[in-house]
Structure 1
Amino acid sequence: MLAWGSSDRFRICRRERSRLIYRPKRHTDHKSGGRKSFAWSEYRDLLIAAHQQLGGPIVLIWDNLNVHKDRRMRAFIDTHDWITAYHLPPYTPDLNPVEGIWSVLRRTSQANTAFTDPEHLIRRLRHGLRQIQYRSNVIDGCLAATGLARTTPRLKPQ
């Protein structure tokens, strides 16, 4: 199984068929002490849940978000033989399949919508992700657009 991800809090997983595993979260205002993105422990919990759900190894291809490179995240990955992590080169959104998922969402469930409040946005986001979740042809298109393949040579951490 392959998993691609970014700070966007969901992963594209490929096994027999591609699947999307997501966990949207509304964050508190970061200016008053809340976080703008997932903490390393939330990524850890998402990886554990994905591993339990899929029952197989996970290969992560991550962008260079600081949480992805956090020493605790690296230690977690290093102690679990079912996870392999690769980091994309800096500033390469064209290699990140999650960007394709965001593009699909912007053109479908999020298009031409004036959100009334954050909960409205999250409801529409969840709806859009559910629409994509098991449509492996859409997910495969996002994967193919990157030019990355299951046989892509090992990427070096930056």
Structure 2
Amino acid sequence: MVVAALRVGERSVERWRLRCHERGEAGALSKGSPGRPKLSGTQIARLERELERGPPAHGWADRRWTPARIKTLIGRLFHVSCTVKGT
């Protein structure tokens, strides 16, 4: 069974099947993780500049960037929520 082989819910498989039926092969293509924000090239360039300034410029006492701090910075700069894993 597809559900067991892919370790997903039956509802997900049903949605995939329906999209394939409606849109053909293009309907089966992944749109990416819905939990990850999509930053534009301009936003990524700005994030890089801000990261180069270092954590103290953004209120942290030491000069160590952590995934959690980068997540917080993304939220502050772009008003986008993401997971630590997604950073």
TM over 0.5: no
* Structure number with bigger Rg: 2
Higher relative contact order (CA 8 A, sep 6+): 1
Higher helix share: 2
When the two structures are superposed, what TM-score results if normalisation uses the length of structure 1?
A: 0.21
